[in-house]
Amino acid sequence: MDANIAQLAHETKDLLAPVLPYLLPAAAEAGKAALKKTGEKISELTWNKAEKVWNKLWPKIENKPAALEAAEDLARMPDDTDAQGAFSLQLKKMFAEDQELARGVAEFFVDSSIHITASGERSVAANNVSNSIINTGDHEGR
């Protein structure tokens, strides 16, 4: 499975897990009111993003019983790693089957405020790099 699809599924699951109980149709309207009343620590920006991502995913999820069950399980148990894994797996499958859906969802995770510039001899520009070796080609001990 493509690493980008796996990363997209992971990011999507992380975004949706805390708000999924409020997004599932059976509880959506009551959930929105409860979310505002209880003062959940979910920003308006996060809520809006999650709602837009969910609206893209929902038509696929509601027509795929395994994905719907995974979403319902995650809504009931957002901290359960098995529920998270099952939902991520269903997202990966949906994204692999529908590249247009994957591109549409991925657009919500692009941060246009990030600008990276490499300037100067042997400079490196990167975003989200960890546990990596970056080689500029200079092996002379400089």
User: In terms of residue numbers, what domain contains 94?
Assistant: 3-109
Tokens 């080609």 belong to which residue? 137
pLDDT tens digits, 4-42: 999 999 999 999 998 888 888 765 555 555 555 544 556
Say if 56 falls within a structural domain: yes
Question: Minimal CA–CA distance to 85: which of 2, 10, 7, 3?
Answer: 10
Q: Are the CB atoms for 50 and 16 separated by under 8 Å? A: yes
Separation CA 53–CA 28 (nearest Å): 14
pTM above 0.85, yes or no: no
The domain tally of the chain equals 1
Say if 114 falls within a structural domain: no
